Amino acid sequence: MSASTATGTIATAEHARPGYCGRFAPSPTGPLHLGSLLAAAGSYLQARACGGRWLLRIEDLDTPRVLAGAGDAILRTLEQFGFEWDGAVIRQGERLPLYQAALETLDRKGLVFACCCSRKELAALQPAALEEDSFYPGTCRNGARHTDRPLALRFRVADVTVEFDDLLQGRCTQNVADSIGDFIIRRRDGLFAYQLAVVVDDDAQGITEVVRGCDLLSNTPRQMLLQDALGLTRPAYMHLPLLTEADGRKLSKSRRAVTLADQQPAASLWRVLQWLRQQPPDELMRGPVRDLWSWAIRAWNPMVLRNTREIPLDAVQQSA
Ligand code: GLU
């Protein structure tokens, strides 16, 4: 996917945006870690600086990856860090009929087909040097070859270029048909896929702006295709840089990440703000976390992160 410089400005503390609604949507596959704290803080600050609402959604659809108790643990950690969300927390596992209805809408439009291809079969067909994700070559587009196997449902992708202006990453364009192909909206194990559920929920919750990590940037064109097909309004998107290991890997949940709950919230949040280039005053590092939040909401300026996709952890730790 390609992106180029954004030139626009966005609202800050001085520019309240009536009707703004943001969200944080963690998957409960492990405890909240520094990377997800950064995404949570960015979306929270953006919502509060705009005078908007901030909702929480637990994305627990991928049941084989869900860790028992992790959703509640994430909520407790967020509370401990002084996040204040609006309304009730939504859990995707309780909303399956909504995803089913969206699937049926797409099906009625002829945009869904069943696919029997196994992961192994598809892996064997992968063209070399793919940009990202795995490419689906359209094998079952005109009918599944084996109907006695568990079938996935795929969204029939039109050959169009999706274009949008990410608030930090600039102009993004992707032809999903060329780079990803028809993608799964209900898996072979019967679970609804993230792409479908996220689009349904962002709409149902009235989200006006999605602020999340850059690891999800390449998912956005797929989500926009679904929004268009379902007749939903596209929210605005802001993709924050990702904390990465020094070698460029995304900060994993298994390393360094797991100790958040034991940290002093103000000290950890102070570091996150520093990584977000907000320059928090030193004295707020040891104070109550609510003082840090009220400073950060007033001072929030995401535009200093423009065109930044990665924050290498070792580099920032040494300089912090
Ligand atoms: N549940 C996703 C994750 O934890 C985030 C989804 C989103 O923000 O769109 O990576």
In the reported structure, the alpha carbon of residue 31 is separated from the centroid of ligand 1 by a whole-number distance in angstroms of: 14
Name the residue with tokens 């945006």: 17
Q: Is the pLDDT of residue 320 over 50?
A: no
212 lines ligand 1 (CB under 6 A): yes
Q: Is the pLDDT of residue 112 over 70?
A: yes
Confidence of residue 318 (pLDDT cuts 50, 70, 90): very low
User: What beta strand segments (E) does 169-314 contain?
Assistant: 170-175, 183-186, 209-213, 236-240, 242-244, 310-312
pLDDT at 248: 73
Q: In what order do the strands lie in the sheet with 161-166?
A: 2-4, 170-175, 161-166
216 lines ligand 1 (CB under 6 A): yes
Query: SS3 for 70?
Result: helix
Confidence of residue 127 (pLDDT cuts 50, 70, 90): low
Distances (CA, A) of 148 to 119, 145, 184, 187, 263: 16, 9, 19, 15, 52
141-160 confidence digits (pLDDT tens): 999 888 888 999 999 999 99
Confidence of residue 2 (pLDDT cuts 50, 70, 90): low
- Mean pLDDT rounded to a whole number for the chain: 89
Confidence of residue 119 (pLDDT cuts 50, 70, 90): confident
pLDDT at 100: 98
Q: For Cα atoms 37, 202, 77, give the angle at the middle one, nearest 5 degrees.
A: 25
Atom of ligand 1 nearest to the CA of 26: 4
Q: Are 2 and 220 in contact (CB under 8 A)?
A: no
DSSP string across 13-63:
TTS--TT-EEEE----SS---HHHHHHHHHHHHHHHHTT-EEEEEE----G
As given in the structure block, the two tokens for residue 280 are 């928090």
> Can you give the pTM of this predicted structure?
0.91
Lowest mean pLDDT among 36-40, 147-151, 192-196, 283-287: 147-151
Query: SS3 for 144?
Result: coil
Most ligand 1 atoms within 8 A of CB, residue of 198, 207, 217 to mutate: 198
DSSP string across 184-201:
EEE-TTSPBPHHHHHHHH
pLDDT at 6: 38
61-75 confidence digits (pLDDT tens): 999 999 999 999 999
Q: Is the pLDDT of residue 19 over 60?
A: yes
Tell me, rounded to whole angstroms, the distance of Cα 198 from its chain centroid.
9
What is the pLDDT averaged over residues 31-45? 94
Confidence of residue 15 (pLDDT cuts 50, 70, 90): low
Most ligand 1 atoms within 8 A of CB, residue of 66, 74, 194 to mutate: 194
268 lines ligand 1 (CB under 6 A): no
Instruction: Tell me the HSE value of 22 on the side-chain side, using a 13 A CA sphere.
Output: 25
Q: Are 75 and 56 in contact (CB under 8 A)?
A: yes
Q: Is the pLDDT of residue 259 over 90?
A: no
